[in-house]
Chain A
């Protein structure tokens, strides 16, 4: 979850998250990144079935064991990184982009436009994320694109609200008043002061939000609404392996663990950056 939590200075110094956590998170993200960019480096064909070796426990040959079709679970997890993350990244890009645009629009324009847009954000935020995505999928059909747009729309209000609130704060900030003293025009104020100060914290928020998007994407794929089998998507793999849980836990638990590790790493790094960012601006 993304909740901006500014802390008082004195606490931050004593409660800074332990360094080893950050190092571990960086390593995980580096591994995941490499898996996305170059999966063949780690593992071979994720679709190659081997009917003679189905549901085998983890071993030196198959680090994460094999699934019900004898496919290498590790290979599928590695290749699945691309599917799972690209959905999250694309959805976050949509949400952040549209969120910034609408948030600025609400924050910078007339009161009535702001009121209308804000009520719109409220209404959109009133729908539970998963249900909003389900509604979208019901209308547009299942598939990766649908999933991306659905999650993008569902997570958009969060960014739009942050941007709007921040815009209002910056607009009233004394340093903007001071820029008026130098005869700055409205456009100049917005470009030189408002935009940079509003957008500054967005990348960090987006990073934490990306974790959430990956989580929802995996959830919807688990429900069978994402990339269709035999695509190796983490949530979908978990769903497929679920039927064999009592004899082969690895086929479902390990892909799930990949989701958890990725999300935790994104959150840890995001929060760390957030803490540094706020410290810099106090």
Chain B
């Protein structure tokens, strides 16, 4: 068991290292001088150039540059934005809370809705309607659903604020917008897992004990159906972070998305790199947790 946990954690660290390296290589691959890439649209003075060369060790051998970059990243030092003249950590730290709020709220909405949809819509006609609805949810771009929700609930009905970040009311529409496609995907996967589990011989055995269909579903099948759904947790993290960029733009919410978009627009590479590596780190952590969750859910995996 401990060995299995250690192996998964080690795999996570390797992926994290590879992701940080990939981001570093992307910076190297940028056209032109690396100093230019880091400055972006910021002020270009000899002092700033010297500062960048010092921070990134550009006067040292390439291997030192790379190792020092890794070391800084491992210590959580995200570098400095020369455009904003501030440490990147500070810029991100100020804006991360609204994004985390949005992502968590959307995740809760997505997961709860998916569970409810998958478990309650077992009947033939209901599930057909529900499947179609899920397909619509998955295929609708979040900026469209966001705009439709805005126009109905904010402009027409005036129930929610149109933009900004004023408490829970302002969080409701963005979280729903981001949560809907997640619910669509998760409920499809859960429903498929339930179907499969209910076809297994152990489900027949459970029924032959006199269990109600609901008990077979909740006590036996659901646990089996959770496994493919847990696989999607890493993917879910990516969708939440990527989706947040778009949702924040639609609803005019502050957050990491706005920071990132501004940085991309201004060519502020240190900020873009930091956000991307941070997102990859979040993915890896969640994915590793998901791997460990398998061990809890499925006793058959605990052996190796």
A: which residues have CB within 8 A of B? Answer: 1, 3, 5, 7-8, 10-11, 15, 17-18, 21, 119-120, 122-124, 126-132, 134-140, 211, 215, 218-219, 222-223, 225, 235, 238-239, 242, 245-246, 249, 252-253, 256-257, 259-260, 263-264, 267-268
- Are B15's CB and A122's CB within 8 A? yes
B57-65, B113-121, B204-212, B277-285 - the one binding chain A: B277-285
- Are A126's CB and B15's CB within 8 A? yes
Do A126 and B280 form a contact, CB below 8 Å, given A8-B199, A131-B245, A235-B143?
Answer: yes
Q: What are some 17 contacts across the A-B interface (CB < 8 A)? A: A1-B138, A3-B188, A3-B189, A10-B199, A15-B195, A120-B22, A130-B246, A135-B273, A135-B276, A136-B26, A140-B30, A218-B141, A218-B143, A242-B250, A263-B139, A264-B136, A268-B135
Query: In chain A, what residue has the closest Cβ to B246?
Result: A219
Task: Tell which of A7, A131, A257, A264 touches B192, judged by Cβ atoms closer than 8 Å.
Answer: A7
Q: Give the distance in Å from the alpha carbon of A253 to the alpha carbon of B185 in the complex.
A: 23
Q: For the complex formed, measure the closest distance between the CB of A99 and the CB atoms of chain B, giving whole angstroms.
A: 17
Query: In chain A, what residue has the closest Cβ to B136?
Result: A264
- Are A126's CB and B264's CB within 8 A? no
Q: For the complex formed, measure the closest distance between the CB of B122 and the CB atoms of chain A, giving whole angstroms.
A: 12
CB of B241 closer than 8 Å to a CB of A: yes
- Are B151's CB and A253's CB within 8 A? yes
Q: Give the distance in Å from the alpha carbon of A201 to the alpha carbon of B39 in the complex.
A: 46
- Are B139's CB and A252's CB within 8 A? no
Contacting A at CB under 8 A, from B129-170, are 131-132, 135-136, 138-144, 147-148, 150-151, 155
- Are B37's CB and A139's CB within 8 A? yes
Q: Chain A residues near B128 (CB, 8 Å)?
A: 18
The digit string for B91-109, where 1 denotes a CB below 8 A from any CB of A, is 0000000000000000000
- Are A139's CB and B26's CB within 8 A? yes
CB of B239 closer than 8 Å to a CB of A: yes
Q: Chain A residues near B30 (CB, 8 Å)?
A: 139-140
Q: Chain B residues near A129 (CB, 8 Å)?
A: 238, 242
Do A225 and B264 form a contact, CB below 8 Å, given A11-B199, A135-B273, A219-B246?
Answer: yes
Do A119 and B15 form a contact, CB below 8 Å, given A132-B276, A223-B249?
Answer: yes
Query: In chain B, what residue has the closest Cβ to A255?
Result: B144
Query: In chain A, what residue has the closest Cβ to B267?
Result: A138
- Are A139's CB and B143's CB within 8 A? no
Q: Give the distance in Å from the alpha carbon of A134 to the alpha carbon of B249 in the complex.
A: 14
Q: For the complex formed, measure the closest distance between the CB of B125 and the CB atoms of chain A, giving whole angstroms.
A: 11
Query: In chain B, what residue has the closest Cβ to A135?
Result: B276
- Are A131's CB and B260's CB within 8 A? yes
CB of B222 closer than 8 Å to a CB of A: no
Task: Tell which of B19, B144, B239, B250 touches A259, judged by Cβ atoms closer than 8 Å.
Answer: B144
Q: For the complex formed, measure the closest distance between the CB of B192 and the CB atoms of chain A, giving whole angstroms.
A: 5
The digit string for B1-40, where 1 denotes a CB below 8 A from any CB of A, is 0000000000000111011011100110111000001000
CB of B42 closer than 8 Å to a CB of A: no
- Are A135's CB and B23's CB within 8 A? yes
CB of B196 closer than 8 Å to a CB of A: yes
Q: Give the distance in Å from the alpha carbon of A17 to the alpha carbon of B128 in the complex.
A: 8
Q: For the complex formed, measure the closest distance between the CB of B291 and the CB atoms of chain A, giving whole angstroms.
A: 12
- Are A130's CB and B19's CB within 8 A? no
- Are A256's CB and B238's CB within 8 A? no
Do A123 and B148 form a contact, CB below 8 Å, given A128-B239, A219-B141, A267-B138?
Answer: no
Do A134 and B260 form a contact, CB below 8 Å, given A11-B199, A267-B135?
Answer: yes
- Are B239's CB and A138's CB within 8 A? no
Q: Give the distance in Å from the alpha carbon of A219 to the alpha carbon of B192 in the complex.
A: 29
Task: Tell which of A124, A134, A238 touches B245, judged by Cβ atoms closer than 8 Å.
Answer: A134
The digit string for B247-260, where 1 denotes a CB below 8 A from any CB of A, is 00110000000001
Q: For the complex formed, measure the closest distance between the CB of B39 and the CB atoms of chain A, giving whole angstroms.
A: 13
Q: Give the distance in Å from the alpha carbon of A21 to the alpha carbon of B140 in the complex.
A: 17
Q: Chain B residues near A131 (CB, 8 Å)?
A: 241-242, 245, 260, 275-276, 279
CB of B221 closer than 8 Å to a CB of A: no
CB of B171 closer than 8 Å to a CB of A: no
